[in-house]
Chain A
């Protein structure tokens, strides 16, 4: 992945975000948009600050569901990719189901799952897992398939067992793709948790937003959105950090061989 190399590139994302907020703020002030239609960012932030304790409580609930679901999704995706990669007939059986699982409208699931799984945390976790495991499985499978066949025959010629070949060659080679999948899923996880709370929840940011939206407290709804964006961004950054730590050979700042 391309990473910023100088200060200008490091500042770039903050400039674009700040710019967007400024345009929003300016437009609301110039055109005098009523607050119950579209509040300015400053109003959203101050509303959010006002209800910070309430916001924090619901954020905690949603973050818990998102992280729990994401971790479970990573575990399931990892095991599933291992099985599908190694057993061809299983791949033929399961792969179409994987795709079908992604075609079910989430909103309907959010309504139906509580009927089957109760009103607790279970249906929420299921929705997050359903959304998050797919990008990880697909990317990991791709990564495992992309290993150079000559590399595999070299290990075969050295008498390596399939298991040794898998852990020494295939798994490390697939790690970057694995992290690409996790990165995508991390951005989806909070959103999925929020959708799961849209119906039949008594807490969480999804529940909070439906209540506030009905009360036309748009500034508080947007404050919750802001929190979701911020947390999703942080989750992706955490994934980046984890990859930097676990895939040291792909770090962008490795020095090249010096001429001698």
Chain B
């Protein structure tokens, strides 16, 4: 399974109105990308879906069940790999299994089985410090996968990588998704990344974030479709990125 619904979620953090009535759904095996300007509340939305913070209004439904404000159902990966420096790659990725009560030896065995597919078989006994950023993100994704195998929340997971490595990670992630049939909610401010990763792109406004428009991305977009979607998104975002409008948007909150 892996059907995620976000229903009418609003959130004010401190005195800043961050999310304004956000509703969206991620169907099974679908990859939905949320695209928005920096600081628009994308990460707050993922934190709410993960159950780390509760929304002021609205609900999070997963396979029809209410998971609002509860952690432990979906897996969540951030820009930082957040691997434990004290554990080898194998022991790091096995953590979610151990937290669920799987005996250590068995957890390692399960992790070991998938190491090759995640491109980590040569590095299982390395400590995170010994690996490059790309390899560490692979391990982080692997750990994310071992936590919940149907719904993945990815918060700019490759933003800290160089362009070439990022490109390789996109292709690799696409390949894994088609094999494992994940439902993915992916957050980014990079239009190119959105176009590569998405079945659907939802464009958010600056704070308070609302969904401005939805774009469907065809499986293999030809150059013209690609260009036209990109152009439409840019047009949508540009007035919002204008300095005066950002100040105007904030002045009502302050």
Contact = CB atoms under 8 A, between A and B. Distances in A.
Q: Which one of B75, B86, B96 has the greatest number of beta carbons of chain A within 10 Å?
A: B86
B72 A254 contact: no
B145 to A, nearest CB: 12
Interface residues of B, number: 29
Interface stretch (B5-13, B31-39, B122-130, B195-203): B122-130
B24 interface: no
Contact of A257 (B50, B80, B132, B147): B132
B123 A173 contact: no
Interface string A148-160: 1011011111111
A175 B85 CA distance: 12
A157 B76 contact: yes
Interface of A: 148, 150-151, 153-160, 164, 168-169, 172-173, 175, 247-250, 254-257, 260
Contacts of A255: 130
A148 B82 contact: yes
Interface of B: 47, 50-52, 71-72, 75-76, 78, 80, 82, 84-87, 95-96, 99-100, 122-123, 126-127, 129-132, 135, 147
Contacts of B147: 158
Contacts of B71: 156-159
B93 to A, nearest CB: 12
Nearest to A159: B72
Contact of B52 (A157, A160, A175, A249): A157
A157 B51 contact: yes
A153 B52 contact: yes
B82 A254 contact: no
B95 A172 contact: no
B129 A254 contact: yes
Q: Which 5 A-B pairs have the closest CB atoms?
A: A159-B72, A172-B86, A249-B127, A157-B50, A257-B131
A203 B225 CA distance: 91
A160 B72 CA distance: 9
A249 B132 CA distance: 16
A254 B125 CA distance: 11
Contacts of B126: 257
A159 B76 CA distance: 12
A150 B155 CA distance: 13
